[in-house]
Structure 1
Amino acid sequence: MQQLLMVLIAAFGLVNSSFAQNKEEFPLRDFTKCSVENKNAGYTKPCKDELNSTDIKESRESGEKQPFSFAIQGDTLTITAKVAAGDITFAGKPYLCCDIQAYLDPLGNDLYAAKFRWHDMDKSLLELRLFNVAKPSNGNATYHGSKEFLVPRNDIDQSVLKNAGMVLTEHAFKISQEFGARMVTVIKGRACLQNLTACRVIYMADGQSLAFLVKNAVLNQHDLSRFVFVGIHIAEAKEKTNNIRIDELLFGYHPARYDTFMHFATVTLIHEIEGKDIPLARYSAGYSNGGAWAYDMLLARPDVFSGAIVMSPAEWKSRTDTRLTERRVFIGAGHLESGFLANARAMAADLRSRGALVQEIYVPSGHGMNTWTNIWSRSLLALLDSAPARRP
């Protein structure tokens, strides 16, 4: 699990783009502290509150009973963990990932705790894990407070795709002589196995999560027979994964790698996957840095993409005045990831100003699969219920 979370850190962007190579030097972000203004507003924005004497007493009692626990009462989430100092692998104190991204603060005797406030906390979807602890199985929990939103499942067998008539294949396609090859996952609906002209093709920057998202959508009764999903995996050079991901997906960091990756996604892959077929529609998609990329691909190549699925977009730049008349864009984020939520709302306004048809989807969760599974699923459902806005 620790290795998996390192991959998630690289994919989710929990650190600033100027982060260090070694995980021991990651400048992990803490949660925004509660202010008087926030309290007076009824905690409409999530924040980290000070522990009072009652909280500390209850945390000490809880810590004596179990190594990791949480409690939600109304707008308040309290988390307690008992962690030996030698089990904290870096950063000095336990760090939560990923729906809540925050440090737990020391109470003494290897006990740590934190309190978070948000007006809809009791309706939230949470997966809580300790990221930097040597025994992470002692530090994880889930909470599902709303029946309105899907709860993603990790235990879905590959047979779910087969039973739906879908075919999953994996390929290694060459990006360039300099940057080598990249693993690509392709999932085709049963109506798209021979010809793609009646199909919607979605190109995703987060291929390592593609099967997970598609299987959850199928399990929730989505008919994906006329969809093709193409997921580009992150680089395999683990010590440089986040650097490469940023260079490839975010404009302005490494122009040569960014341009090469764009060519790979918009020329090489289209040729390899579609051949001479012209699909019904093409969409770019991704989360976090991949969400910013999905927006940028639509903006840079409106001749290629009919729309986009933008999930929790990271930093972005509106660098052209490109019109996106009638392009279908689905965009959203979690209410517990304030920075990405602000990005999504600002990006939605920008897209509408360009003439795009925008549907916003916001989830009572944070920077993780609880949020992205719901945005993804609702986006696909909306596409099923409507004609494509524009053939590429």
Structure 2
Amino acid sequence: MLRLAALLGFWLAICAAPALAQTPRINPQPTCLEAPGEVCRTGRQFALAEVEGRLKAADLAWWIEDDTLNVVARRSGDYALLCCAVQTPMDRVEGGVDLWTMSVRIPDLLSAQLTINVLPSSQPMALWRGPQAAKPANRTAVPEDWFREITIPSKAMSEPRKLTVYAPPSPPPGWRYPVIYAADGESVQAWAGIVHALVQAGDIPQVILVGLRPGPADTVRGAGPGILFRHHEYLIGFEGGDARFTAHERFLLEEVAPLAEREFAAATDPRERAVAGYSNGGAWALQMAARHPGVFGKVISLSPGGASGTRRLEGALFGDVFLGGGRLEQTFAANARTAADVVAPGAGRLWLEIRNAGHSHDLWDDLFAEAAVWMFGDAAPSATSEAPAQ
């Protein structure tokens, strides 16, 4: 919960901010009469007395009834948005003051993992995992001296850029560790605990993580809000051209990877090098692996964005490709499935795993653990997965 609170502002910037800025474009979800087998609005009307009774002094209350998620909230303003496993505008309560409700039916809810909040909000996400959902990834505490925060005066980016590194403090002479280069380097803190647990359990060898942090919003020069800054670095073909994408690509290849190999004993063999990311970072990871198959032999792409760039992957050669997403995501699970179809002819191994979840760190942490074992260990992903592509 503490990690979710710390990451909330960043997560909202990369995922929810576009939704808030473009509320009319958010899919309000069909009614259950229109789409009985899909995520749908039940149309339930909540009495004012029930809403007030559920909330009491709180600003948010939610509860599960059979296959339905019910949410009531107190929010001032012109709208309230249910977020984030399911994203849909909420209904204002007739006769209430700043009171909102929504009732959503979710197929196979007992197997779902949900993140629940109402935006706008500065509160941490609530988490709910159904009794039939896959177990969360194991994690353990990591010694502080295994983490490094580094700032590179990047020539490629023409500005200082930050890295977060997880690696043993004293590698043996001549040793090389398998390495994962990750977009949105803030997640290294969480993923390190997962890797540490997998290594201690003997599921994988020691793997190190090198996280590339996005530039702060105030470094944007003529590119609009900070949210676009990350888009330009991670999405090839994003509006405005590919200058920042290719600069960030050079940053990884010419500055980050050499530093990791020099300072942290990162592997130089493509079979022991992976790129990873979620959302737009998942699209970036696919492009890096496709554009540099002789450098990165593995890719972990979770809930990839940037559907317009997927066709650029056609004809590319890959080593191991792990694609994942959540059934409750608006478009990202579809992107993952499309990417699996496109990259299959050129992939050495390919796994696609779609869980009953939304666009969230809770999902990505679990999928990352599955991917790490599949790529670097002997065990295959769990039986909750979709069948692997051949």
2:332 aligned counterpart, secondary structure: helix
The equivalent of 1:96 in structure 2 is 82
1:338 aligned counterpart, secondary structure: coil
State how 1:82-161 maps to structure 2 within 5 Å: 82-83=74-75, 85=76, 88=77, 92-108=78-94, 109=96, 110-133=98-121, 136-137=122-123, 141-146=126-131, 148-151=133-136, 160-161=141-142
Whole-Å separation in 2 of the counterparts to 1:257 and 1:337:
28
The equivalent of 2:382 in structure 1 is none
> Are the aligned partners of 1:234 and 1:241 in contact in 2 as well (CA < 8 Å)?
no
> Are the aligned partners of 1:168 and 1:188 in contact in 2 as well (CA < 8 Å)?
yes
> Are the aligned partners of 2:235 and 2:284 in contact in 1 as well (CA < 8 Å)?
yes
Whole-Å separation in 2 of the counterparts to 1:321 and 1:141:
39
> Are the aligned partners of 2:313 and 2:343 in contact in 1 as well (CA < 8 Å)?
no
The equivalent of 1:390 in structure 2 is none
The TM-score normalised by the length of structure 1 is: 0.80
Whole-Å separation in 1 of the counterparts to 2:171 and 2:134:
29
State how 1:1-392 maps to structure 2 within 5 Å: 4-12=7-15, 15=18, 29-34=26-31, 36-39=33-36, 43=37, 45-52=38-45, 58-59=50-51, 61-64=53-56, 66-83=58-75, 85=76, 88=77, 92-108=78-94, 109=96, 110-133=98-121, 136-137=122-123, 141-146=126-131, 148-151=133-136, 160-162=141-143, 167-176=146-155, 179-189=158-168, 192=171, 194-197=173-176, 199-219=177-197, 222-223=201-202, 225-237=205-217, 240-253=225-238, 254-275=241-262, 278-279=268-269, 280-316=271-307, 317=309, 318-319=311-312, 321-324=314-317, 327-386=319-378
Whole-Å separation in 1 of the counterparts to 2:132 and 2:208:
29
Structure 2 unmatched runs, 5+:
380-390
**What is the RMSD of the two structures over their aligned residues, measured on CA atoms?**
3.1
> Are the aligned partners of 1:183 and 1:233 in contact in 2 as well (CA < 8 Å)?
yes
Whole-Å separation in 2 of the counterparts to 1:75 and 1:46:
10
Whole-Å separation in 1 of the counterparts to 2:27 and 2:53:
25
1 or 2 for the larger relative contact order (CA 8 Å, sep ≥6)?
1
> 1:257 is aligned with what amino acid?
R
> Are the aligned partners of 2:314 and 2:342 in contact in 1 as well (CA < 8 Å)?
no
The TM-score normalised by the length of structure 2 is: 0.81
TM-aligned CA distance change 1:383 to 1:36, over 3 Å: same
> Are the aligned partners of 1:186 and 1:230 in contact in 2 as well (CA < 8 Å)?
yes
Q: Following TM superposition, by how much is the alpha carbon of 1:128 offset from its aligned partner in structure 2, in angstroms?
A: 1.3
Whole-Å separation in 2 of the counterparts to 1:193 and 1:161:
19
Structure 1 unmatched runs, 5+:
17-22, 388-392
The equivalent of 2:387 in structure 1 is none
